[in-house]
Amino acid sequence: MLPAVAVAAVVAVAVVAVAVAVAIPALRHRLVRSALRRAGGRYRRRLEALGSDVRLSQERRLRRLLGTGTGTGTGTGTAGGERGAAGSGPGSRSHGFPFSLCLSRQARRSSSSGIPWGSPVGTKPRAFRLARCGSGLCCPAAGTPTPGCRYRERRAGWARVPAGSALLTRRSPQGSLLYLDALGAAFPRALLRRGTAVLHWSPGRARGPAGWPLPSLYCSPAAAALLPSRAAALRLQLLFALRQRALRVLEAGLAAELQDALLALRAEWPRLAQELELGSPAAARAAELRAECARGFEGIVLRLWPQLEVVVVRTMRGTERLYCDSLRQTDCQGLPFYCPFYQAAGGESLLGVNLWPAEPEPRFLLCPDWAFCEFLPCPASKEPRAVLLDELWEGREYRLVVTAQPGEYRCLLPGDGAHPVSLHRRESQTLSVRGESIPEEQFCQSLCRTLRMWPGARLIDYVCVESSLLGDSSGPCAPHYEVFMELQGLRDLSEGQRYKLDQCLQEDFPIYKSFRFKGSIGPLRLHLVRPRTFTRLREALGCPVPMPRVLREERLLQLVQGSVIS
């Protein structure tokens, strides 16, 4: 009788505890946060276990993608079912799976990277840049092969990959659990209730923020991101953020969205202060907003939210790196930036997670069970030969080839500084009017070098146009580039200053210089546009994608041309 009474008492206490937790939001938040962090820790340990045999984990992932099952036969390879899928003839490899036999005919026909199926893996030692191994950096002596490393993390594929990412368009519980665990470990008070403000526009359908399993983390409702107007959505989310003085995290889908929200703060802070005063509890906050904005906007983020610990953005490379650098130097002085995810294949596939929020440069754990990965050594040879995750060596750069979704096989991701292929892939990432092909990242480097020759100038944003899109308006001249820039600190540029950019391009790209010398390419033309032109341009794009650096649409070109001031 007593045991039954004791069980009933325990059940009653549990029911009361659950009821109290549900009734008290703060307690409910703490309980859910604790459960999610424990789940994130368990998943991280699971990834370490998967990393004990990278080749087996990759083979299982590939079999699932190709619909061949996980393997239950009696083959002699690493996976039990290798014989059923790959056979055991002379072409097989007993320690892995041969590409030419394991991959289905459909996969061979669907290869989108142009890399020949059945590419033999070279025997020359390869290398890859490692992330953190335990408490130090795993950098063995040159010539030490990856499989022989005594660190489990090394074999788990803790590889440094290009620090870019696409928008998180599908909710990934694994990635978000790891994100919450990593963020909470690096910044213990970052996961407080209503301690995170999100600035992201996602019209049509909601895209979950990084910590979506814990909605009480955010101070603004999810519906704010669904407004049809980008400017209205960001402004409303900014207003919710301003009400919360004790923010710990500022999260943005794109760094450009954070920049545009802060530009709106610069332009509209008196009106924002009036709107804050409409709620009596926020009257003191409105007075604080007026006082801080009146002092200027250098370091304004940390002055408005003195307890802020980190800025979270989805990507910090390519087109978005420009905005991150600008924010670090001005509005967000003194704050670390954290890029949590590495994604590709239409933005639907999570490839890796950054588990080191406090480090200045993003590094990603490339998870062997999330996608099948191959690597092409850089610089690429005429006949590229891919190597696998466990065949990489320290000290060499690679390009990543991903098979992440059924029907999307061997997608070659752009190199360092470019964004992975996404549903909103830009039509071009190079400038080319005579076949010279100047990559976007290298053009940006030449542009930034030119800026250092213009004292007092700070670049806000830019786009390029090839003269073929301009038609008759470009005049009777050789094909050339036209660059539209928004600058801060300079109202006009002399002809000599404008020519500096063309000169830097000639110094950095010999092919471009030869075409300029022959007269096949005309001199670059540079135009200055009025403030907030690029904010309107991003609104005109109609979806939350990184800024295209080469305009291909006449309607977007007309918008920019209508804002030229010099």
Q: Are residues 328 and 468 in the same domain?
A: no
Residue 10's pLDDT band (boundaries 50, 70, 90)? Answer: low
Mean pLDDT score across all residues of the chain: 75
* 212 within domain boundaries: yes
For residue 458, give the H/E element and its range.
strand 458-466
- pLDDT band per the 50, 70, 90 thresholds, residue 206: low
Please enumerate in sequence order all residues whose Cβ is within 8 A of that of 32, keeping only pairs 6 or more positions apart, or say none: 214, 216
Residue 184 in any domain: the answer is yes
The mean pLDDT of 130-148, rounded to a whole number, is: 28
Residue 212: half-sphere exposure toward Cβ, Cα within 13 Å: 16
Q: Region 256-271: what's the mean pLDDT?
A: 94
Torsion angle (degrees, nearest 10) of CA 440, 433, 480, 164: -10
Q: Give mean pLDDT, residues 26-52.
A: 87
511-543 confidence digits (pLDDT tens): 999 999 999 999 999 999 999 999 999 999 888
Using the 3D structure, point to which of 386, 420, 454 is the last residue of a domain. Answer: 420
Backbone angles phi, psi at 439, to 5 degrees: -65, 150
Sheet holding 196-199, edge to edge: 196-199, 249-252, 310-313, 337-338
pLDDT at 18: 56
Distances (CA, A) of 77 to 59, 92, 98, 423: 11, 9, 10, 37
**Cβ partners under 8 Å of residue 191, min gap 6:** 33, 37, 180, 183, 184, 211, 214, 217, 248
Identify which has the larger pLDDT, 6 or 440. 440
User: What's the chain's Rg over C-alpha atoms?
Assistant: 26
Residue 264 lies in a domain: yes
Q: Which pLDDT band holds residue 153 (cuts at 50, 70, 90)?
A: very low
Same domain, yes or no: 207 and 340:
yes
Q: Are residues 287 and 236 located together in one domain of the fold?
A: yes
Cα–Cα distances in Å, from 121 out to 324, 385, 484? Answer: 39, 6, 46
- Pairwise CA distance, residues 266 & 256, whole Å: 15
Average pLDDT estimate for 163-171: 38
Tell me: the pLDDT tens digits for 282-341?
Answer: 788 999 999 999 999 999 999 999 999 999 998 776 778 889 989 999 999 999 999 998
Can you tell me the distance from the alpha carbon of 6 to that of 12, in angstroms, rounded to the nearest whole number? Answer: 10
pLDDT > 70 in the chain, percent: 71
- For 24-50, what is the mean pLDDT? 87
Contact 310, 190 (CB under 8 A): yes
Tokens 């360092």 label which residue? 416
pLDDT at residue 209 greater than cutoff 80? yes
Q: Which residue has the tokens 């890399």?
A: 115
Same domain, 350 and 204: yes
Residue 79 lies inside a defined structural domain of this protein? no
pLDDT range class, residue 109, cuts 50, 70, 90: very low
Q: What's the confidence (pLDDT) of residue 489? A: 87
Q: What is the dihedral of CA 283, 285, 288, 292, to 10 degrees?
A: -130
- Is 150 contained in some domain? no
pLDDT at 19: 58
- Is residue 181 predicted with pLDDT exceeding 90? yes
Across 411-440, b (16+ Cβ under 10 Å) vs e yields bbbbbebbbbbbebebeebebebbebebbb
Give the structural domain span for 550.
Answer: 430-562
Higher pLDDT, 114 or 103: 114
71-75, 134-138, 549-553: which has the minimum mean pLDDT?
A: 134-138
User: Is residue 385 located within the same domain as residue 499?
Assistant: no
303/385 same-domain check:
no
Q: What is the Cα 542 distance to its own chain's centre?
A: 20
347 in the same domain as 248: yes
Q: Which of 179-193, 275-289, 408-422, 502-516 has the lowest mean pLDDT?
A: 408-422
Residue 68 structure tokens: 């061949």
Nearest to 538 by CA among 276, 287, 165, 252: 252
CA distance 229 to 207: 16
**What is the number of domains present in the chain?**
3
In 3D space, the residue among 485, 468, 548, 479 whose CA is nearest the CA of residue 512 turns out to be: 479
**At 15, is the pLDDT very low, low, confident or very high (cuts 50, 70, 90)?**
low
| Single residue among 324, 354, 384 that ends a domain in this structure | 354
Q: Which tens digit of pLDDT belongs to each residue from 359-416?
A: 888 888 888 878 888 888 877 666 778 888 777 776 677 778 888 777 777 777 654 4
**Do 230 and 350 belong together in one domain?**
yes
172 pLDDT band (50/70/90 cuts)? low
pLDDT at residue 345 above 60? no
The answer, yes or no, to whether residue 508 has pLDDT greater than 50, is yes
Total number of residues shown for the chain? 566
What's the farthest any 2 CA atoms get from each other in the chain? Answer: 101
Q: Which residues, at least 6 apart from 105, have a Cβ–Cβ distance to it below 8 Å? A: none
The reply to whether 178 and 220 lie within a common domain is yes
- Residue 362, domain member (yes or no): no
Task: Report whether pLDDT(118) > 60.
Answer: no
185 burial level (CB within 10 Å; 0-12, 13-18, 19+): middle
Record the tokens describing residue 30, joined without a space: 């703490």
Q: Which has the higher per-residue pLDDT, 169 or 285?
A: 285
Say if residue 411 is in the same domain as residue 436: no
In a domain, 392, yes or no: yes
pLDDT of the residue at 75: 32
Which of residues 354, 383, 412 is at a domain's end?
354
d(CA 102, CA 118): 9
Assigned domain for 506 exists: yes
Question: pLDDT-based confidence at 54, cuts 50/70/90?
Answer: confident
Q: What amino acid is encoded at 212 in this protein?
A: W
SS (H, E, C) 185-245: HHCCCCCCCCCEEEECCCCCCCCCCCCCCCHHHECCCHHHHHCCCHHHHHHHHHHHHHHCC
SS3 482: strand
pLDDT, residue 344, reads 60
**Measured between alpha carbons, how far is 529 from 394 in angstroms, rounded to an integer?**
46
Q: Give 307-373 as a DSSP string.
A: T--EEEES--STHHHHHHHHHHHTTTTT--EE--EEEETTTTEEEEE---TTSSS---EE-TTTSEE
- State residue 319 phi and psi, 5-degree precision: -65, -25
Query: Is 90 exceeded by the pLDDT of residue 474?
Result: no
Report d(CA 468, CA 433) in Å as an integer. Answer: 8
Closest CA to 87 of 105, 73, 108, 66: 73
Instruction: Check whether residue 244 and residue 332 sit in a common domain.
Output: yes
* Whether pTM exceeds 0.85: no
**Same domain for 337 and 204?**
yes
Quick check: 361 and 416 in contact, CB under 8 A? Answer: no
